[in-house]
Structure 1
Amino acid sequence: MDAVFKALADPTRRRLLDELFRDDGQTLGALEARFAMTRFAVMKHLKQLEAAGLVVTRRRGREKLHFLNPVPIRLVHDRWVSKYAEPWAAGLGDLKSRLENPMEKVFEIYIRTTPERLWEAITDPEIRSKYNFGARVVSDWTEGSRFEMGAPGAAGPLGEGKNLEVDPPHRLVQSMVALWSDDVRNEGATRITWEIEQVADSCRLTVTHDELRDGAHEELYGGWPMILSGLKTWLETGELLTTPGSLMYGDQ
């Protein structure tokens, strides 16, 4: 948390995050052009944002793209805002509403657990329901198989799709059609990639949600920060998040 607060304390770094809010997946050159400072100075600020987990980079050919990672901000919200001033926190909705023009969204989080336990938490329906808004994802988890998302508290199916790659406990790639509302149902199929990498006594989990149409409805991908925060909380403490919406489809 300290690294996140330190990174956010600098106005230039906040402006860099604003630029990624506005247009995610930018190169260093594109970001540099928006600031009256040297390339080295912009690079230094980006490195600090990366170190805090607020920015994630991805290589695409020769280009290095920078993506906003809102998960640490969600963790700050869950730890410091929700239990003190939840009504005021509604103002943070602007943060999510600005995540537009996505095409590709990258979310990264570190969890103190093993790859095997993390894989189980992603694929076991009962465990999944503890942090995925109360929804269960059912599949035999073989490559090419189908999966379905649903919940006893939901009016109908919440989603369905196909497992494109299954490499436990390291990588899972899925094609998904969201069904929980008319807005997301009309978006069609998108792709979700889960990547697990062991780092010392923890795991780095990277979730990439791509094949989104330009201007896709924010509801389709905006829940990832809360889902991943809930996953981290449950694996590390055994407790459930109780922030609004965290158990939207929980048993009634």
Structure 2
Amino acid sequence: MDGLVSRAYECHTPAGAARVWSALTDPEQTSTYLYGMHLVSSWTEQATIEAAHPLGHTLRGQVLCCRPPERLSYVLQGVADDPPVYLTWLVTPGTGGCAVRLEVDELGGDDDDADDVWRLVLARLVEPLAPA
């Protein structure tokens, strides 16, 4: 197995921190940017995360850090042999909205397409947060 690969992505949204936090923790909203995955959890530290996809794919995870509305860290994993993926969302309020940073740590995550995958996740997160 390859080593740990860390990536980080950032963007800005005009939405406030509470609205971004809702998008990060509401199962109906997580499905819009996490490729259909509904993340269900109590969103407290050490809480279990169930991630279900309508096509039957499931992941399990655990909340590692939960400080609403500024930081959410969790790990997700498929079957026991799958390498875990660690996600950290950092929400920083500022003038005219928030900066959103996604940090991704993957064991053996040397996939050339990973940057495209995670950039799309971030773009799909903030797109519905923009005013109509």
1:190 to 85, 91, 96: 85
Describe the superposition over 1:3-25 as per-residue Cα deviations: whole angstroms up to 9, x where unpaired. Answer: xxxxxxxxxxxxxxxxxxxxxxx
Structure 2 residue 115 is matched with structure 1 residue 234: no
Contact 1:187–1:216 (8 Å) recurs in 2? no
Q: How far does residue 222 in structure 1 lie from its aligned partner after superposition?
A: 4.3
Structure 2 residue 118 is matched with structure 1 residue 224: yes
Describe the superposition over 1:201-235 as per-residue Cα deviations: whole angstroms up to 9, x where unpaired. Answer: 2111111111x235544566642111111111111
Percent of residue pairs bearing the same amino acid type: 25
For residues 84 and 19 of structure 2, what CA distance do their matches in structure 1 show? 28
Q: Which structure: greater strand fraction?
A: 2
For residues 102 and 237 of structure 1, what CA distance do their matches in structure 2 show? 37
Does the C-alpha gap of structure 1 residues 218 and 125 become closer, same or farther in structure 2, counting only changes over 3 Å? farther
In the alignment, what sits opposite 2:35? 133
Q: How far does residue 178 in structure 1 lie from its aligned partner after superposition?
A: 4.0
Equivalences for residues 159-178 of structure 1 within 5 A: 159-178=59-78
Letter in 2 for 1:223: V
Which runs of 5 or more residues in structure 1 are unaligned? Answer: 1-100, 180-184, 239-252
Q: How far does residue 140 in structure 1 lie from its aligned partner after superposition?
A: 0.6
Equivalences for residues 101-140 of structure 1 within 5 A: 103-140=5-42
Letter in 1 for 2:77: V
Q: How far does residue 132 in structure 1 lie from its aligned partner after superposition?
A: 2.3
Larger radius of gyration: 1
1:143 to 45, 50, 64: 45
Does the C-alpha gap of structure 1 residues 224 and 178 become closer, same or farther in structure 2, counting only changes over 3 Å? farther
Paired positions, count: 130
Task: Pick 1 or 2: higher relative contact order, CA cutoff 8 A, min separation 6.
Answer: 2
In the alignment, what sits opposite 1:11? none
Contact 2:62–2:76 (8 Å) recurs in 1? yes
In the alignment, what sits opposite 1:206? 101
User: Match of 1:103, SS?
Assistant: strand
Contact 1:209–1:221 (8 Å) recurs in 2? no
RMSD: 2.3
Which runs of 5 or more residues in structure 2 are unaligned? Answer: none
Equivalences for residues 26-41 of structure 1 within 5 A: none
